[in-house]
Amino acid sequence: MKVIPVRDMVIIEPLEEKRESTIIIPDTVNKEPEPRLGKVISLGEGIRTEKGKLVPFEVEVGDMVLFKYFQPRDIKINEGRFFICKEKDILLVIK
């Protein structure tokens, strides 16, 4: 099955270890989670300006990226776990 995101959405394969459980310590509850590392596997077509011009993506398929952990949504594709988020939630590209 081929999955293609829409507009400015990006599908990312996580590259970090999966953790079985998490312990929440009360004084750290309000802190932002740390960014996560992943690999871009699919891009939408991009967003259009009010005049209809297509704005190209700054990331490419295959790029390793650091993205905001609290923004993406977990999705399952062919028994694999992936994240889907907007391009603006990607913090940097690792070359």
- CATH number of domain containing 66: 2.30.33.40
Which of 5-19, 32-46, 67-81 holds the top average pLDDT? Answer: 32-46
Are the CB atoms for 59 and 93 separated by under 8 Å?
A: yes
* Number of domains the chain contains: 1
- Indicate the burial class of 81 (C-beta count within 10 angstroms; 0-12, 13-18, 19 or more): exposed
pLDDT band at 93 (very low <50, low <70, confident <90, very high): very high
Phi, psi of 28 (to 5 degrees): -110, 5
Q: What gap in Å lies between CA 35 and CA 59, rounded to an integer?
A: 17
Does residue 54 lie in a domain region?
yes
Mean pLDDT of the chain: 81
For residue 48, is it within any domain?
yes
pLDDT beyond 90 at 19 = no
Q: Is residue 2 a part of any domain in this protein?
A: no
The predicted structure's pLDDT at residue 79:
79
Residues 86-91 have a mean pLDDT of 90
Would 37 be classed as within a structural domain?
yes
Whether residue 38 lies inside any domain: the answer is yes
* Domain extent at residue 54: 9-16+33-94
22, part of any domain:
no
Residue 84 belongs to a domain: yes
Residue 28: inside a domain, yes or no? no
**In this structure, how many other beta carbons lie within 10 angstroms of the beta carbon of residue 84?**
18
Question: Given pLDDT bands bounded at 50, 70 and 90, which one contains residue 75?
Answer: confident
